[in-house]
Structure 1
């Protein structure tokens, strides 16, 4: 089964899954697939059923040809010649049926290929014996019933089709036995009833196999649905574990995992920069306006930072209470400073109220920038973060609401 088919099995509407649960809760023998469930089952089972039908038709043609060849060698010429014409009915009928099952086709055409094809195949086998007469008459009628029985056993088709094949086989057997000059009417009917009991038992067995196959399909559908639900729940839990519940951006844990992955995947700190952002006088905002306004401020600032960085490239996380860490892969010092200034200006332009601020009556942001210098030894993520934090400290000391780049200490200082 292809990937798209597996996905269709996994993702089913609640109404379908409710019907699956209802059928599985009842008795196995009462399972009946209807509507969309029946369509899904047919789609699921078609490749295997088609392969079996094509193989059976192919072997019937080969055995027919082999039998004709042996008859031509072993039997008298007149008898062998009488068998050729009726035997020629079988190959085209079997080939036509096999062709229909080379790819999915209309339901009515598939049904016609089985019922019509089997009628001509059974008729061909019976007429071979009727044409030869004598001992071959009843022998080929028995062979015809054997052919029908094998088809009933291995063709996983709807029960109505199976019943049609069984009825055709018994009907042909009775018809030709009634016209058998070597058999009385009572004997013909008795023989038909005898074989009917065996074919009916075979049909019942086929029905049981169909029901068990449908139950297996329902169990698979339920299991796949539960696995999909579990995977979805795990994914949601994973997202929750890596997301800051207030701002909706990544949390510190996710950022640490991201840094480890970036440095492990070959970046090794080359052309990388970090921004450490801190809301100025945020504690005073909380004390003056309350925590609800403080939470609103954090959400707004997080959104501004997220919208100011490069989409699908940079990484933003809430690192602490009012601190945000931004990782800029592939950014040099100049580009990092430009992005930091854009963030700072965006927060300032938002004019979020902070009457307790020592900088301005609105929310401002101090940002420390650290970038990997081309000529320096490659820095670890911890070292780069420490430098950004040190630059942030300098920004706070210099009066806040500014961007400060980290500068390495001069030699000997």
Structure 2
């Protein structure tokens, strides 16, 4: 997983705008045909950094394999010509392994493009030099055989080395040039033979350069596709994460919504049940909020809910979750709370919102109008005015029994609509100050009835 992610390390320092710009560059390059893909600028540097590990492993493995094979071929040199054993051991078992070890060291870490590219000409030059020395020491037909063997071994390097086109061409020129020069230096062969052989192998090895570059183009195209897919996948994951947060968050108060609360309650319930623990729930309902919302306005009602949510959030202990259950109802889940343990609810009842928005009610009162209060079920209320406060409230003072009865009816109808029931009208009951009744006539001691009896 670490190696896979290292190919996309270039994305770590880019923000959303930078990724959008990079995605536009990728789309522009991928819009053309695969054979016409040419990486320049930032895309070229990104691909070189991402593909360095693969290129380094490929080249170092080839150098190691050729070094081992060169040491083994000393036995072949001894069988072909025993006097060559000493020279073969010096060149194949010492010079080639040491020189190729130096070239492999260059690929231990990323280096400049020209330093990495020059390793191919040096590799093929060393191989052709060893072939020339062994052929000159053997003489006769061995000279041409060793040159042919060196040319075949170096052609594999041209195909295997995943480097830029200019350095592949440079390696091919070095191989063909050394083959022609060493062939002309052989006095036992006519000059026409090396020239004809060089011409032939020029066409053969020349075909290897486009093949290597086609492989490089395919690899670059595959990486660009994977990079584009990685950018789109991460963008989709970020969008899904934002959607998940929005789906579990109440847009007004910023608290988790009912969906998030139900998921958290199910998880905490299962966790506490597994270890025989306890879990507590606190239900908070703002009384008379509908009247407050209708009289003060929906904007003031929203600010009231925000202030209540801020007060609830500030009192929640670590590990607890407060959420908006719906409308003016809030709920909190507190794991580890024992039954009838009211310690978690006491701070909530005594809480005063320190950061509540000022000016909760800005509309001036009309003549004879009284300020409405949004009261919580436990007697705490948030009242409007210059500075909102939370305090213990008594029933609405200064209003007659008709107002209280109307409030009871409105509260009943609101709860009925919320529960999906048909509301019923409450029978109006007169206040005690207006209750007057006539008593039945009661005989007196004198045997006559009083004109009227009043029962208070």
TM-score range, shorter chain: 0.7 to 0.9
Q: 1:28 offset after TM fit, Å?
A: 1.5
**Is the contact made by 1:28 and 1:215 (CA closer than 8 Å) also made in structure 2?**
yes
**Is the contact made by 2:289 and 2:374 (CA closer than 8 Å) also made in structure 1?**
no
Q: 1:230 offset after TM fit, Å?
A: 1.7
The CA RMSD over aligned residues, in Å, is 2.7
Matched, 1:330 2:336: yes
Unmatched 5+ stretches in structure 2: 362-370, 376-380, 393-456
Q: Which residue of 2 aligns with 1:286?
A: 293
Distance of 1:231 and 1:251 partners within structure 2 = 22
Q: 1:214 offset after TM fit, Å?
A: 0.4
| 212-221 or 297-306, which deviates more | 297-306
Q: 1:99 offset after TM fit, Å?
A: 2.4
Q: Which residue of 1 aligns with 2:366?
A: none
Matched, 1:35 2:36: no
**Is the contact made by 1:9 and 1:224 (CA closer than 8 Å) also made in structure 2?**
no
Distance of 2:24 and 2:353 partners within structure 1 = 51
Aligned pair partner of 1:232 in 233, 238, 247: 238
- Which has more helix, going by share of residues? 1
* Structure 1 segment 246-265 matched on structure 2, within 5 A: 246-265=252-271
Q: 1:217 offset after TM fit, Å?
A: 0.5
**Is the contact made by 2:307 and 2:353 (CA closer than 8 Å) also made in structure 1?**
no
Post-superposition Cα deviations, 1:95-143, rounded to whole Å, max 9, x if no partner, equal 1122222343454443344433442233223322233222221112111
Distance of 2:109 and 2:360 partners within structure 1 = 69
Q: Which residue of 2 aligns with 1:379?
A: none
Q: Which residue of 1 aligns with 2:365?
A: none
**Is the contact made by 1:96 and 1:113 (CA closer than 8 Å) also made in structure 2?**
no
**Is the contact made by 1:93 and 1:121 (CA closer than 8 Å) also made in structure 2?**
no
Larger Rg computed on CA atoms: 2
Distance of 1:19 and 1:195 partners within structure 2 = 41
Q: Which residue of 1 aligns with 2:347?
A: 339
Matched, 1:318 2:324: yes
**Compared CA separation, residues 237 and 30, structure 1 to 2 (3 A):** same
| 110-119 or 39-48, which deviates more | 110-119
Distance of 1:309 and 1:7 partners within structure 2 = 42
Instruction: Please state whether the residue corresponding to 2:352 is helix, strand or coil.
Output: helix
Distance of 2:269 and 2:7 partners within structure 1 = 36
Q: Which residue of 2 aligns with 1:17?
A: 23
Instruction: Please state whether the residue corresponding to 1:156 is helix, strand or coil.
Output: coil
**Compared CA separation, residues 249 and 153, structure 1 to 2 (3 A):** same
Q: Which residue of 2 aligns with 1:406?
A: none
**Is the contact made by 2:311 and 2:348 (CA closer than 8 Å) also made in structure 1?**
no
Q: Which residue of 1 aligns with 2:425?
A: none
Instruction: Please state whether the residue corresponding to 1:180 is helix, strand or coil.
Output: coil
Aligned pair partner of 2:85 in 66, 70, 80: 80
Q: 1:284 offset after TM fit, Å?
A: 1.6
Post-superposition Cα deviations, 1:231-277, rounded to whole Å, max 9, x if no partner, equal 22222222222111222221101110111111223456724322212
Q: TM-score scaled by structure 1?
A: 0.79
**Compared CA separation, residues 122 and 306, structure 1 to 2 (3 A):** farther
**Compared CA separation, residues 135 and 21, structure 1 to 2 (3 A):** same
Instruction: Please state whether the residue corresponding to 1:316 is helix, strand or coil.
Output: strand
Aligned pair partner of 2:68 in 51, 62, 66: 62
Instruction: Please state whether the residue corresponding to 1:273 is helix, strand or coil.
Output: strand
**Compared CA separation, residues 126 and 280, structure 1 to 2 (3 A):** farther
**Is the contact made by 1:10 and 1:221 (CA closer than 8 Å) also made in structure 2?**
no
**Compared CA separation, residues 50 and 118, structure 1 to 2 (3 A):** same
Q: 1:30 offset after TM fit, Å?
A: 2.0
**Is the contact made by 2:261 and 2:323 (CA closer than 8 Å) also made in structure 1?**
yes
Q: TM-score scaled by structure 2?
A: 0.72
Matched, 1:8 2:9: yes
**Is the contact made by 1:272 and 1:328 (CA closer than 8 Å) also made in structure 2?**
yes
Q: Which residue of 1 aligns with 2:145?
A: 139
Matched, 1:154 2:170: no
Distance of 1:256 and 1:100 partners within structure 2 = 60
Distance of 1:142 and 1:266 partners within structure 2 = 79
Question: What is the aligned length?
Answer: 363
Matched, 1:357 2:362: no
Unmatched 5+ stretches in structure 1: 367-413
